[in-house]
Structure 1
Amino acid sequence: MNEPLTLIIAGELTQRTGGYIYDARMVEALRRQGHTVEVVSLAGCFPAADAEAAEQLAAALGALPEAAQVIIDGLAMGALPEVIAQHAKRLMITALVHHPLGDEQGLSEAEQQHFYQSELAALAAVSRIIVTSQFTERRLQALADQYAMPLKARVSVVEPGVEIAPPSAAPVLGEPIRLLCVASLVPRKGQDLLVRALAGVLSDNWHCDCYGGPRDAAFADRVQQLINTNRLEASIQLHGECDEATLAQAYQNAHALVLPSWYEGYGMVVTEALARGLPVITTTGGALDETLPEGAGLKVTPGDVAALEQALNRFCSDADLRAELRAGAMATREMLSDWQETGTSFIQALTQPLGETPDYHAGSQFATDWLTLREDADFTFRSKQLPSKAADWLKSRAQAWHMVDLGAGRGSNMRFLAPFLPAPQYWTLVDHDAALLEEAKASASTLRDKNAITVETLCTSLDSLDQAPLQTAQLMTASALLDLVSQHWIDMLVAHCVKHEQALLMALSVTGEWGFTDAQGELVSDDEDHWLLALLIAHQRRDKGLGDALGGQAHQALVDALEQADYQVEQASTPWQLAAENPAHQPLMRGLIEGWAEAATEQAPEAATRIGEWRDQRMRSVARGEAGIWVGHCDLLALPQRDTPLADTPAGRA
């Protein structure tokens, strides 16, 4: 993508809020990558758009040429779905959503409903959606489900980065505790709650500096009045909006960040503080519960003044607690992503192939980056013997070979198997994601014997196997698919293979077993791991679009069904063994931990805090090279004729 880009925002890009700072950073990243980016600042009232705002957005979009790439900040588009729809077909529009407009504090129920439905209508028309946190991704999907207004565009999560700065100094004995609040003065940020909580702090050995523009004049006056009423003028100062240098110095002088928000779509100031080793005292509102790792600060329920007062009292009076939280913040500091990484991810989100949000009736959606992340481990640990035996069987049956790969994704399974199997090869790749299939088809050109391989794609759900290309194959294959399917689907697959006398080669089917290993590669037993595994097993059994999924029981269910059909089955144990001392395994291990935590939270949202603590503790142990991960998988090869014996292998006969 080298064509010019246009970013449309409400007001000026120089505003010192998290959303505008994020936008400005992405403009810098795009320009560093050689892209021409024009920033269009709209006048008018936002997000409750007035006539001037609508005219400004319509004029900005109308001035763009056919098929132009345009990014519109959610604040500028959420209340103007009609304008978006008018231009969506001739422009490539990407919506950049920091958090749903209806989640702003202080809205009436009618206003909230209007914003939700208006924003969902606008998002339904765009080509792409980028959100700044996994929480916001889940929130948008929940709203889309609630209002029956599905998101058609692909949603990409690109979390903010941070600039690592020198650590702030820890307080010395007798020194006043310097608290810092960085947030615009609006009701959602909760500075009124902060003043009320600080009024109850027993110690007077503290000072709080608040930086942020008074975007709601009435609220700013109320906060100042609370300061005056509680006679805290000498202890709490509202400095207003400031430049970057002033804010950087404020962070360096502080001993903790306090953010009492009711709700955040991410909470960039939290990571800004952690980048300096500052502990954070905040709430669990919105994404904040996920943005602040356990052990790096204190979290309270949004709006709970008594709990916030207690947290502030503890921090100001307990030197050991301050030291412990500072150590946690310093450890987190080493794990933060920088803005360069964020810029790269943002550009990837803009350039990935377009495609509607997949129909979950077709099965689970797997992001390309996850499929890429796991490919090396798949190739390393899966069985090489079974593909070789499949090749021998194919050679005895025909002279032109047709393979079908179910749930093909980006073609990893085909690329692994092709060198083992006889040529010429004819592949049919089946998946519900058209964009992934295009990538898979293109990847065939990288194969060594590419001239002997023909690839066609079939974009369809796997809930039926009646499509014509699936009838003529000699070998049906799949990788990392079985845990998503039901007993009914397994019975359907086996009946299909029996009817057409097809062999079946299934790789990397999860067994439902996993664990963390020590530096010697030995499995360790941990009660929290066992608890989380139970949540994951329950989550695996949910319907993924192909009936109630069998999860880790699917492999054995398939073996049983094949043997009932008089197939000869051979299995191989193929676990991932990701080593603690191998830095190349760390990205995959981090991805696994994040994925497990997210699935567990979906299964038990009431346990989100405990799951977050597990995730953070495991992330730290992996980052320090103290823990590896073992994930159980099995491969199988099933042949339809008993008169074609399989040699014994160490894995043994099923």
Structure 2
Amino acid sequence: MQRLTFIVAGAPAQRTGGYLYDAHIVAQLRHGGWQVEVIGLAGRFPDADEVARDALRATLSSLADDSLVVIDGLALGGMPETVAPHAQRLRLIALVHHPLADECGLETDRVKRFERQETAALQSMRGVITTSRFTARRVAGMGIDTARIAAVEPGVAPQPLAAADHTPPRLLCVATLTPRKGHNLLVEALACVADLDWQCDFVGNASRDPDHADRVSALIRTHGLANRIHVHGECPEAGLHAAYAAADLFVLPSYYEGYGMVISEALAAGLPVLTTTGGALAETLPPGTGLAVPPGDSEALAQALRRLLANPAERLALRDGARAARVRLADWTQAGATFATALERLSGLPPACPSSLHPDTLFDADWLALRRAADHAARDPRLNALAADWLARRDHRPLRILDLGTGSGSNPQYLAPCLPGPQRWTLLDHDSTLLVRAVETCRSLNDRDGHALTVEPLVAALQNLDASLLAGFDLVTASALLDLVDERWLQRLAEACREAGCALLIALSVDGNWRIEALDNTDSARQADATEDAFVRAAFNAHQRRDKGAGRALGPDAAPRLAALLRAQGFSVQLAPSPWQLAAATPAQVALARALLDGWREAATEQRPEAHARIADWHRHRLSELAHGRLRIEVGHLDLLALPPSRGAG
């Protein structure tokens, strides 16, 4: 008998599309002889809180080695660091209805965070099952091997056939009241056709985003449509079937769907459909069964409504098309069998490498470009000169240089022209996309003596540092890396450098000190600001010490600790400050300053969620000062140079 643990976010019995998909699949697997345990996790999702992390950690820890586990994407995407330790011993499969970052109405920083986190989480999985071919392509675009992806589209339950010929016509929208579903657009469009005769029912959970639900209700009242648009909330299955049977036109105005199960449910009732082309909806609606308009376009939606409401013959023709398509819909028995086959194939794959893409080691190319000028301006030239002098005395050429965690190649771009040549660089990173760009850029560089660089890429994870990586190199370099690792990693690095006899030049390790100064503030205002800065800084530094995939990170303590470990290995070590100096009066630095403030807020809020209001107030205040050109920011870093003892020393 096949055994499966199926993990979802919150109560499994919720009646949204994603939860209903999960419930139908579980029922079919059980019918096919599988033993399935469904576990609903406590806590907040997808912005996972500590309750959610603890719940997932406890659940995974309780499972025996080699257990087969499906984790719904809503429960998985925000907690890659929680699943990564179990990726090698459990057969983990992700179920993705749609990527978290595709939800509408998200702030830019949340979109980027969800992208980083979910990409890292999916990289930990043996495989990913999606609910549509569209979402499968989206997941492949996140760097997941297509061989590890399977699409299992929903089935449909039998529905009573709707007459769909009432006067006045009754419209039905079945969707959770969240911004992505577009209820506000539908209200605006219905207001444009208020001269026609119709009634409309909204069926769906209003508790997921109560503020948005309140805004939709207020919009209905504003347009004077309270006696024509009826908001019913969530319905049990029998009530939902009755709603489909009583309708004449199904409307789903979503901005985006990972599949759109309700479209198939409407077709199963023989209802014509008016929807959008958002996401997978462009592929979900069969030809001749309805109309699809661009997402987010209330005017186009209103025109389509007028066309179908004012022309009953066209609406009835689409109804007949829906009735014809009804018999071609797959049922849940077929979906369950396809899901079981996908599970068996994907779970038999070798484990993925979860440690290679922890969310805090994924860096957006825009962020790397944004910080490049500040990085280069901050670096200590004296340490660079000492490294160049040491390399110039090496008795072989070309000089071999290894750049760890190269990202977009900013470190070799800065260093190569400062060092003697010829130089042969190996750029190492776990992000192959960034690595390709870095190699292309660095191949156009020259060393200090005018030689073109030889550059080669190396795709590898750094979390488990292999000493053999350093063999044969003269110099090992890195930038903004040390704060991500733990003491054991630093010890391995120090020992590997001693064994290889190479020098080490590590730049821009955060030291935990940053200072914000508002020009022209009074002393009392400065003191109040300093108190709030200190609170946020403490939360941020605590967040820096979390596990980043290589043990509990040392964060701001990393550079001094590495210096001590290297000295114990006989190295001559120097530390030098390399602070960023940012001024709001300098346009080129404003974007970086804003990104810093956003990042500090995000990390501090994640560390201290109970203080989110206080941190948000601090963030708004500092952004306002930045916008008015009154802010200076200093961010402390340390550069480290370690020169090895001679081979005869020690």
> 1:6-85, aligned counterparts within 5 Å?
6-85=5-84
Q: Which runs of 5+ in 2 are unaligned?
A: 353-650
Aligned-partner SS, 1:22: helix
* 1:163 counterpart (137, 157, 168): 157
Counterpart Cα distance in 2 of 1:71 and 1:4? 11
> 1:417-456, aligned counterparts within 5 Å?
none
Displacement of 1:311 in angstroms is 0.6
Displacement of 1:314 in angstroms is 0.8
TM-score by length of 1: 0.52
Change (3 A) 1:323 1:155: same
Aligned amino acid, residue 240 of structure 1: G
The answer on whether the counterparts of 1:120 and 1:151 sit within 8 Å (CA) in structure 2 is no
> 1:132-143, aligned counterparts within 5 Å?
132-143=131-142
Change (3 A) 1:120 1:356: farther
Change (3 A) 1:152 1:63: farther
- 1:106-154 Cα offsets, whole Å, 9 max, x none, are 111111111112111111111121000000011111232xxxxx44861
Counterpart Cα distance in 1 of 2:343 and 2:225? 48
Counterpart Cα distance in 2 of 1:137 and 1:287? 10
The answer on whether the counterparts of 2:196 and 2:309 sit within 8 Å (CA) in structure 1 is no
Aligned amino acid, residue 251 of structure 1: Y
For 2:268, the equivalent position in structure 1 comes to 275
The answer on whether the counterparts of 1:124 and 1:152 sit within 8 Å (CA) in structure 2 is no
Counterpart Cα distance in 2 of 1:16 and 1:176? 29
Counterpart Cα distance in 2 of 1:158 and 1:121? 22
For 2:248, the equivalent position in structure 1 comes to 255
* 2:308 counterpart (311, 315, 332): 315
The answer on whether the counterparts of 1:279 and 1:329 sit within 8 Å (CA) in structure 2 is yes
Aligned amino acid, residue 183 of structure 2: Q
Counterpart Cα distance in 1 of 2:37 and 2:27? 11
Displacement of 1:291 in angstroms is 0.3
Change (3 A) 1:153 1:84: farther
Counterpart Cα distance in 2 of 1:171 and 1:253? 10
* 1:341 counterpart (334, 338, 350): 334
Aligned amino acid, residue 300 of structure 2: A
The answer on whether the counterparts of 1:262 and 1:303 sit within 8 Å (CA) in structure 2 is yes
For 1:187, the equivalent position in structure 2 comes to 179
Displacement of 1:332 in angstroms is 1.1
Aligned-partner SS, 1:41: strand
Aligned amino acid, residue 239 of structure 1: H
Aligned-partner SS, 1:199: helix
Displacement of 1:202 in angstroms is 4.7
Displacement of 1:228 in angstroms is 0.4
Counterpart Cα distance in 1 of 2:241 and 2:128? 32
The answer on whether the counterparts of 2:160 and 2:241 sit within 8 Å (CA) in structure 1 is no
Aligned amino acid, residue 188 of structure 1: R
For 1:245, the equivalent position in structure 2 comes to 238
Aligned-partner SS, 1:38: strand
The answer on whether the counterparts of 1:85 and 1:122 sit within 8 Å (CA) in structure 2 is yes
> 1:449-464, aligned counterparts within 5 Å?
none
Say if 2:89 is the partner of 1:96: no
Aligned amino acid, residue 211 of structure 2: A
Aligned amino acid, residue 306 of structure 1: E
Displacement of 1:184 in angstroms is 0.4
Displacement of 1:3 in angstroms is 3.4
- 1:548-582 Cα offsets, whole Å, 9 max, x none, are xxxxxxxxxxxxxxxxxxxxxxxxxxxxxxxxxxx
For 1:201, the equivalent position in structure 2 comes to 193
Counterpart Cα distance in 2 of 1:255 and 1:241? 20
- 1:380-429 Cα offsets, whole Å, 9 max, x none, are xxxxxxxxxxxxxxxxxxxxxxxxxxxxxxxxxxxxxxxxxxxxxxxxxx
For 2:170, the equivalent position in structure 1 comes to 178
The answer on whether the counterparts of 1:124 and 1:153 sit within 8 Å (CA) in structure 2 is no
- 1:501-520 Cα offsets, whole Å, 9 max, x none, are xxxxxxxxxxxxxxxxxxxx
The answer on whether the counterparts of 2:91 and 2:351 sit within 8 Å (CA) in structure 1 is no
Say if 2:125 is the partner of 1:126: yes
> 1:461-476, aligned counterparts within 5 Å?
none
Counterpart Cα distance in 1 of 2:145 and 2:174? 33
More contact order relative to length (CA 8 Å, sep ≥ 6): 2
The answer on whether the counterparts of 1:203 and 1:317 sit within 8 Å (CA) in structure 2 is no
Displacement of 1:309 in angstroms is 0.4
Aligned amino acid, residue 218 of structure 1: D
Say if 2:203 is the partner of 1:211: yes
The answer on whether the counterparts of 1:126 and 1:153 sit within 8 Å (CA) in structure 2 is no
The answer on whether the counterparts of 2:84 and 2:121 sit within 8 Å (CA) in structure 1 is yes
Aligned amino acid, residue 65 of structure 2: E
Counterpart Cα distance in 2 of 1:293 and 1:68? 39
Displacement of 1:357 in angstroms is 11
- 1:263-299 Cα offsets, whole Å, 9 max, x none, are 0000000000000110111100000010001211111
Displacement of 1:204 in angstroms is 3.4
Displacement of 1:4 in angstroms is 1.9
Say if 2:222 is the partner of 1:229: yes
For 1:449, the equivalent position in structure 2 comes to none
For 1:302, the equivalent position in structure 2 comes to 295
The answer on whether the counterparts of 2:165 and 2:316 sit within 8 Å (CA) in structure 1 is no
> 1:342-421, aligned counterparts within 5 Å?
342-352=335-345, 354-355=348-349
The answer on whether the counterparts of 2:126 and 2:351 sit within 8 Å (CA) in structure 1 is no
Aligned-partner SS, 1:208: strand
Q: Which runs of 5+ in 1 are unaligned?
A: 145-149, 359-654
Displacement of 1:323 in angstroms is 1.5
The answer on whether the counterparts of 1:154 and 1:357 sit within 8 Å (CA) in structure 2 is no
Counterpart Cα distance in 1 of 2:159 and 2:232? 22
> 1:471-510, aligned counterparts within 5 Å?
none
- 1:562-608 Cα offsets, whole Å, 9 max, x none, are xxxxxxxxxxxxxxxxxxxxxxxxxxxxxxxxxxxxxxxxxxxxxxx
Displacement of 1:12 in angstroms is 1.1
Counterpart Cα distance in 2 of 1:124 and 1:93? 11
Aligned-partner SS, 2:299: helix
Aligned-partner SS, 1:352: helix
For 2:502, the equivalent position in structure 1 comes to none
The answer on whether the counterparts of 1:129 and 1:153 sit within 8 Å (CA) in structure 2 is no
> 1:461-610, aligned counterparts within 5 Å?
none
Counterpart Cα distance in 1 of 2:77 and 2:164? 43
